Structure 1
Amino acid sequence: MSFVEVAPNSDFPIQNLPYGIFSTSSNPKKRIGVAIGDYILDLSLVKHFFSGPNLCTKQYVFEQETLNEFMKLPKAAWREARSVLQSLLSADDKRLRDNAELRSKALVARKDATMHLPADIGDYTDFFSSIHHANNCGVLFLGGSDQLWPNWRQLPVAYHGRASSVVPSGTEIRRPWGQTKADDVAEPAFGASKCVDFELEMAFFVGGPPTKLGETIPIEEASERIFGMVLMNDWSARDIQKWESVPLGPFLGKSFGTTISPWVITMDALAPFIIDNMKQDPSPLPYLKHDDAYNFDIYLEVTIKPEGSDVDHVVCRSNFKYMYWTIKQQLVHHTCNGCNIRAGDLMGSGTISGPEESSFGSMLELSWNGMKTVAVGDQTRKFINDNDEVTLRGWCEGHGYRIGFGECRGKLTLVGTMASAFIENQFQFAEMNIQHKGNADKTLALVRRAVRMGYDCVVINTDIGDINQSIEDVLQESSNEEPPKKKKKKGKRENIIPDPVQIDVSKVNTADLEVAGKKFRLYRLVIDKSLRNAKKALLRAESRKTLKGAMVVTSAEDIPSHLVNRKSELERLMSVPEFRAQLEVVEGPSKDSEEPSKDVDK
């Protein structure tokens, strides 16, 4: 029992005490904390209590901005730290309980904290160790009713992931772009993935001193090198993955984002929930064989919250006990060739699926590769939609308490309209995503993101279902409108507005486009480059429609000077066949064009 009040259903009772890295608005420095109920104990302020034989000279590890230095210590030091913390937070220990000043500083409300990655992850490896998931994938891609790759029961299959794109819970994940190829077409296409998926996984952090190149870890010592576990969502783009995976395995289909929960649950906290290992047939080779139980009864759940909803809808319930290969076997196999490891390395379990359909740990399996739909409240899914928020949860229950992992949450963000996923990170004027009807202020804000003048073409994307009248009618109306008169301000140069922009409707080109499973109709309006009021025509045209997005493309000569060196990026984009018919770089305004009006934002 702790003197800190802990709710009966809390993930973080005194029996848990997970480690994480946090900061607050009042103290932005990252620091090590331990979760207890609704609070975080700041270890940098209580480090002097770690005075045992393993930590008395290592108190500096609790002042770091990551857990790496603490993870590097031997397992005896981890256990000593856990013992100190359980004593310090117990109801019978007065050192912190009765020190009001220290307690007020050292205990921080979790709701006021920002969580960060728990460690500097040097390397990340993802395994493929759930037999039900492996069999489902085999059936889907190899055919038949029981399909496992020939080597699957002989060794823990894995691939080397991308540590740089591992992010903490709450980080938004951008829908990725890449090459895909449909079965019924001859050539691949480049565009946004239409099959973004979650993967219900867990992962463990490596601990202990780094091994040398050529050094192996025997199975008898593996548990000494496993610091703790987190939840993990290995986001996957199935269509990109399918095309790229032969012959070397996943690449861009996996490397765009991997979300982990921020609290690292120690193996000592999980020890009461150890269960027997899954029976392995055939028996593994001697270097992988261990008879001691090292599987865990961890309940797992995945929810999806659609855009605009306040409800997390459960789509999957599984359990870590469905792992065929243990995490000790994973670590031992990883090092059997002499591969060196370091504290903070992350090892993913692979998708954890159970035997029942409701326990399948990915949309790939739940939708059976898009052949059926999955209920998400009153909606359905085959894969993840833009602005869906996916949350993984995990916990152990028993012995009168609960050991929870917290949440592993991430939202899949909009890919943007058409090519803006590329452009908005390269050109200031292309980040445009409007969802409104007749809101001139928002449209004007969009237009003012553009460069000063010199529009050569305007690309407007509207959802086909929202078109209430032809674009030709809209443009003709805007062309015949009288421009608003501006009052002359004393002491300022009068803004002379020329005649309304005349747009040649015959130059309006349309094309249908599908982005991330949504259909759009694209309009390309060629505007006389000598007319500096082109943006007002765009404003008038947009304000009459329910726009889903718009993008302004200007000639390279109009790019602000600090972006000139990125001209080649725009030219590269124009070379992509999918966009060449829709966007065009043309000559900039003629030298005798009027100067832009002073009221236009740069």
Structure 2
Amino acid sequence: MTWLDLADDAPFDAWTLPYGVFSTDGEEPRVGVAVGSWILDLAPLAAVEGLDGSHLFAQRSLNPFLAAGRRAWDAVRGWLLEVVTESPHRDLVEPQLVPLAEATLHRPFTVGDYVDFYASQTHAENVGQIFRPDSPALPAAWKHLPIGYHGRGGTVVVSGTPIVRPSGLRRVGGASGDVEFGPSLKLDIEVEAGFVVGTPSALGSRVPVSSFEDHVFGMVLVNDWSARDIQAFEYVPLGPFLGKSFATSMSPWVVPLAALEPARVSPPPRSPALSSYLRDEGPWGLDLTFEVLWNDRVVARPPSRDLYWTPAQMLAHMTVNGASVRTGDLYASGTVSAPRPDSGSFLELTWNGTEPVTLSDGSRRSFLEDGDTITIRATAPGPGQSRQRLGEVTGTIHPTP
């Protein structure tokens, strides 16, 4: 319940309360929380209410608040739930509500390192069948550890940033065809859940699965744009590079882990048995449902509840060798996928272009063309029988210069 008048189709309810960075005309960017169709301007409200650390919300980035740690995250969320649900706070809160439509949204935090995983068995098997038809679909290590690679943090951009078609070397005419340089002809998407590190760890130490909630602040929606023809030629033996590094889009709102409590589920059974450092400490699978719009048509609704590896296991694996994590590090699940038509990439949805999909204007597509816009949304279970919206990430393809 809330004293706010929230429309049924409002972007966010009074439970999710995601954090972002926004600005209005003539003012500096600062931290806000989305509720309904408004942004709650946190710095002035926190100052009026005498909240410790109110200065953290006057910053141009969430990083100072992320670094404050779990005790601060929990305290602020408890306060926010109180002020948006208990009517005595109304007179103080209402003057600090900024209409979403009047705000500019910025990248919510400064990204440190970016790591991308490969947690969906369906996706991994599909990619294996397409790219390595004469080899086993799953790499030998896949069920033993969360496979991942280091991406490029500097090209993680906020939703709405134009995506310029990348160029690189690609093979044309099949496996024995010529190699040529040019713009990617197989530009694709990847539907992913991204996780934002708040509390850092020390070099040489490990973050156990049980400490996931002490280090990770929340989740963003991710579209890891992928040039499949460049990727296919370059990725053996060291993996993705130019086919991935040109852009990764993330949503402008960071959903705190606490808001995802109703969405927690047990991961699927695993075989062979996991190494001790990867054994589950509570159910940290997430029951999210994504929705992919290609221009204005919904083409897929991939669910995440069957991902083989959880975000807690990904963090444990990232640090088991003593590698540290820093405030603002981002890591993502890899493509969230399911059997067609609910695939999380067009590589799978069209089976590498051999089975195009029909868009609302009647055109048939296999991969992205210049001018195409992709929007990825997600929802999750909320308190009771409710369904909470988790925001969206969007991008439009621009031609190669």
- TM-score category (smaller protein): over 0.9
Which of 353, 369, 387 is matched with 2:352 structurally?
Answer: 369
Match of 2:75 in 1: 80
Give the conservation status (yes or no) of the 8 Å contact 1:261–1:405. no
Residue 192 of structure 2 aligns to which amino acid in structure 1? Answer: E
Match of 1:22 in 2: 22
Shift in Å at residue 82 of structure 1? 0.5
Residue 30 of structure 2 aligns to which amino acid in structure 1? Answer: R
1:215 correspondence with 2:205: yes
Match of 1:150 in 2: 140
Match of 2:307 in 1: 323
Shift in Å at residue 260 of structure 1? 0.6
Match of 1:98 in 2: 91
Give the conservation status (yes or no) of the 8 Å contact 1:193–1:239. yes
Shift in Å at residue 270 of structure 1? 0.7
Summarize deviations over 1:244-275 as a string: whole Å, max 9, x none: 11221111110111111111111111101211
Q: Secondary structure at the match of 1:89?
A: helix
Match of 1:489 in 2: none
Match of 1:346 in 2: 330
Which of 220, 237, 243 is matched with 2:227 structurally?
Answer: 237
- TM-score, with normalisation over the residues of structure 1? 0.64
Residue 147 of structure 2 aligns to which amino acid in structure 1? Answer: V
- Of the structure 1 ranges 288-297 and 384-393, higher mean CA displacement relative to structure 2 is found in 288-297
Shift in Å at residue 86 of structure 1? 1.1
Match of 1:4 in 2: 4
Residue 159 of structure 2 aligns to which amino acid in structure 1? Answer: S
Match of 2:368 in 1: 384
Q: Secondary structure at the match of 2:388?
A: strand
Give the conservation status (yes or no) of the 8 Å contact 1:121–1:163. yes
Q: What is the alpha-carbon distance in structure 2 between the residues aligned to residue 134 and residue 49 of structure 1?
A: 51
Q: What is the alpha-carbon distance in structure 1 between the residues aligned to residue 78 and residue 233 of structure 2?
A: 51
Q: Secondary structure at the match of 1:181?
A: strand
Give the conservation status (yes or no) of the 8 Å contact 1:11–1:395. no
**Greater relative CO (CA pairs within 8 A, separation 6+):** 2
Show structure 1 runs of 5+ residues with no match: 306-311, 416-420, 422-602
Shift in Å at residue 150 of structure 1? 0.5
Which of 133, 136, 145 is matched with 2:126 structurally?
Answer: 136
**In the TM superposition, what are the counterparts of 1:412-431 in structure 2 within 5 Å?**
412-415=397-400, 421=401
Shift in Å at residue 316 of structure 1? 0.9
Which of 179, 182, 191 is matched with 1:188 structurally?
Answer: 179
Q: What is the alpha-carbon distance in structure 2 between the residues aligned to residue 186 and residue 269 of structure 1?
A: 51
Match of 1:360 in 2: 343
Summarize deviations over 1:225-247 as a string: whole Å, max 9, x none: 11100110000000111111122
Q: What is the alpha-carbon distance in structure 1 between the residues aligned to residue 49 and residue 75 of structure 2?
A: 8
Show structure 2 runs of 5+ residues with no match: none
Summarize deviations over 1:549-588 as a string: whole Å, max 9, x none: xxxxxxxxxxxxxxxxxxxxxxxxxxxxxxxxxxxxxxxx
**In the TM superposition, what are the counterparts of 1:43-58 in structure 2 within 5 Å?**
43-48=42-47, 56=52, 58=53
Q: What is the alpha-carbon distance in structure 1 between the residues aligned to residue 299 and residue 127 of structure 2?
A: 19
- TM-score, with normalisation over the residues of structure 2? 0.95
Give the conservation status (yes or no) of the 8 Å contact 1:50–1:84. no
Match of 2:104 in 1: 114
Summarize deviations over 1:400-437 as a string: whole Å, max 9, x none: 4332121100001122xxxxx2xxxxxxxxxxxxxxxx
Match of 1:268 in 2: 258
Residue 88 of structure 2 aligns to which amino acid in structure 1? Answer: K
Q: Highest CA radius of gyration, 1 or 2?
A: 1
1:66 correspondence with 2:50: no
Give the conservation status (yes or no) of the 8 Å contact 1:50–1:59. no
Q: What is the alpha-carbon distance in structure 2 between the residues aligned to residue 145 and residue 319 of structure 1?
A: 27
Distance change >3 Å, CA 19–CA 184, structure 1 → 2: closer
Q: What is the alpha-carbon distance in structure 1 between the residues aligned to residue 72 and residue 237 of structure 2?
A: 44
Summarize deviations over 1:129-158 as a string: whole Å, max 9, x none: 101000111111222697211100000000
Shift in Å at residue 184 of structure 1? 5.6
* Identity fraction in percent: 40
Q: Secondary structure at the match of 1:230?
A: strand
Residue 340 of structure 1 aligns to which amino acid in structure 2? Answer: S
Match of 1:161 in 2: 151
Q: What is the alpha-carbon distance in structure 2 between the residues aligned to residue 350 and residue 343 of structure 1?
A: 21
Pairs aligned (count) = 398
Shift in Å at residue 9 of structure 1? 3.7
Q: What is the alpha-carbon distance in structure 2 between the residues aligned to residue 66 and residue 330 of structure 1?
A: 25
Q: What is the alpha-carbon distance in structure 2 between the residues aligned to residue 278 and residue 80 of structure 1?
A: 33
Which of 333, 338, 348 is matched with 2:317 structurally?
Answer: 333
Shift in Å at residue 346 of structure 1? 0.4
Q: What is the alpha-carbon distance in structure 1 between the residues aligned to residue 152 and residue 8 of structure 2?
A: 38
1:224 correspondence with 2:217: no
1:203 correspondence with 2:194: yes
Q: What is the alpha-carbon distance in structure 1 between the residues aligned to residue 136 and residue 100 of structure 2?
A: 47
Q: What is the alpha-carbon distance in structure 1 between the residues aligned to residue 256 and residue 354 of structure 2?
A: 40
Give the conservation status (yes or no) of the 8 Å contact 2:16–2:390. no
Which of 287, 291, 314 is matched with 1:297 structurally?
Answer: 287
Shift in Å at residue 325 of structure 1? 0.3
Q: Secondary structure at the match of 1:365?
A: helix
Match of 1:31 in 2: 30
Q: What is the alpha-carbon distance in structure 2 between the residues aligned to residue 98 and residue 109 of structure 1?
A: 17
Match of 1:309 in 2: none
Residue 168 of structure 2 aligns to which amino acid in structure 1? Answer: G
Q: What is the alpha-carbon distance in structure 1 between the residues aligned to residue 269 and residue 328 of structure 2?
A: 30
Q: Secondary structure at the match of 1:134?
A: helix
Shift in Å at residue 186 of structure 1? 5.7
Q: What is the alpha-carbon distance in structure 2 between the residues aligned to residue 324 and residue 267 of structure 1?
A: 19
Give the conservation status (yes or no) of the 8 Å contact 1:49–1:84. no
Q: Secondary structure at the match of 1:324?
A: coil
Summarize deviations over 1:35-79 as a string: whole Å, max 9, x none: 01000001111122665xxx62x3321111111111112212111
Shift in Å at residue 331 of structure 1? 0.3
Give the conservation status (yes or no) of the 8 Å contact 1:123–1:346. yes
Distance change >3 Å, CA 145–CA 297, structure 1 → 2: farther
Q: What is the alpha-carbon distance in structure 1 between the residues aligned to residue 69 and residue 381 of structure 2?
A: 28
Residue 387 of structure 2 aligns to which amino acid in structure 1? Answer: R
Give the conservation status (yes or no) of the 8 Å contact 2:209–2:278. yes
Q: CA RMSD in A?
A: 1.7
Residue 188 of structure 1 aligns to which amino acid in structure 2? Answer: V
Q: What is the alpha-carbon distance in structure 2 between the residues aligned to residue 353 and residue 13 of structure 1?
A: 27
Give the conservation status (yes or no) of the 8 Å contact 2:210–2:281. no
Distance change >3 Å, CA 62–CA 184, structure 1 → 2: closer
Q: Secondary structure at the match of 2:125?
A: helix
Q: What is the alpha-carbon distance in structure 2 between the residues aligned to residue 401 and residue 222 of structure 1?
A: 26
Q: Secondary structure at the match of 2:271?
A: coil
Q: Secondary structure at the match of 1:249?
A: coil
Residue 395 of structure 2 aligns to which amino acid in structure 1? Answer: G
